[in-house]
Amino acid sequence: MKFLYSLAFIIGADNWKLDKVPHEILDTLMEFDKNESQILDLGCGIGKESVFLALQGWRVIGIDFIIYAIHKANKAANAANVLDRTLFISADVSKLSLLKLPPIHFAYDIGCFHLLNPDQMECYIVGLNKIIVSGGVFLLNAFTPRQQGKKTVGLDSETVKNLFSPDFELERTSNHSYWRYPANWYWLRRK
Ligand SMILES: C[S@@+](CC[C@H](N)C(=O)[O-])C[C@H]1O[C@@H](n2cnc3c(N)ncnc32)[C@H](O)[C@@H]1O
């Protein structure tokens, strides 16, 4: 998986990129204060969303396990003159507990969590639990279940709700997908 992503970034086959920052992110941010909030972008890729948000004045940490993507994210932050509001870390999102991260008020994940295996998902949630403040929001965009060859990939709402309980409450969902496959948005609030 890591190898394939590395290759995709190097040959420029990262065509999952969205044209615009999803309004689901921008709308959710309206409840937060720019001066007091720390944002976390999990599986940030080349940091398109992170840099856009930093340009709006938000402080953003982006994490991705592909060094080349992190290099590109840093380059984009430098070009946008937002290095002071961004931090890009090359790390595995299922090992968040190993990182020294500040308290997070709003975290989002566009298309990374659904790539993990069940053990990695569990570790991801344990790590996220530790850093997200009470009342903070985790916004997840993940594929809904579909057949891929012999495997079923993706997650349904009940699974997401159960995975993140009891520490997060699933407040709402939306089935708006920006990709060619169906995906859901999940608004999970840290209790
Ligand atoms: C579909 S791409 C989405 C990238 C970005 N969020 C976007 O919307 O453009 C999934 C991203 O998750 C990253 N990723 C997958 N598994 C990861 C892991 N275990 N730790 C960190 N990053 C991971 C990949 O390198 C890739 O950048």
Confidence class of residue 31 from pLDDT cuts 50, 70 and 90? very high
Q: Which domain holds residue 141?
A: 121-191
Nearest residue to 167 (alpha-carbon basis) of 116, 130, 120? 130
The answer to whether the Cα torsion of 143, 146, 148, 151 is positive or negative is positive
Q: Is 5 in the pocket of ligand 1 (CB under 6 A)?
A: yes
Read off the pLDDT of each residue in 115-125 and give the average, rounded to a whole number. 96
Read off the pLDDT of each residue in 38-50 and give the average, rounded to a whole number. 97
Flag whether pLDDT at 14 surpasses 80.
no
Flag whether pLDDT at 130 surpasses 90.
yes
Q: Flag whether 68 is in a domain.
A: no
Q: Flag whether 178 is in a domain.
A: yes
C-alpha span between 79 and 73 (Å, rounded): 10
Q: Flag whether 133 is in a domain.
A: yes
Q: Flag whether 187 is in a domain.
A: yes
Read off the pLDDT of each residue in 163-171 and give the average, rounded to a whole number. 96
Nearest residue to 1 (alpha-carbon basis) of 75, 127, 93? 93
Q: Flag whether 147 is in a domain.
A: yes
Read off the pLDDT of each residue in 161-171 and give the average, rounded to a whole number. 96
Atom number of ligand 1 nearest to Cα 17: 9
**DSSP classification of residue 142:** E
pLDDT at 131: 97
Q: Is 94 in the pocket of ligand 1 (CB under 6 A)?
A: yes
Bridge partners (DSSP) listed for residue 153: 146
pLDDT at 91: 98
Q: How far is the CA of 64 from the centre of ligand 1 (A)?
A: 6
C-alpha span between 64 and 176 (Å, rounded): 24
The length of the chain in residues reads: 191
Q: How far is the CA of 6 from the centre of ligand 1 (A)?
A: 10
First and final C-alpha spacing in the chain = 33
pLDDT at 8: 83
Q: Flag whether 85 is in a domain.
A: no
Q: Flag whether 8 is in a domain.
A: no
> Into how many domains does the chain fold?
1
Q: How far is the CA of 41 from the centre of ligand 1 (A)?
A: 10
Confidence class of residue 99 from pLDDT cuts 50, 70 and 90? very high
Nearest residue to 41 (alpha-carbon basis) of 130, 107, 123? 107
Q: Which residue has the higher pLDDT, 67 or 8?
A: 67
pLDDT at 166: 93
pLDDT at 49: 97
Q: Flag whether 28 is in a domain.
A: no
Q: Of 19-23, 93-97, 156-160, which range is least confident? A: 19-23
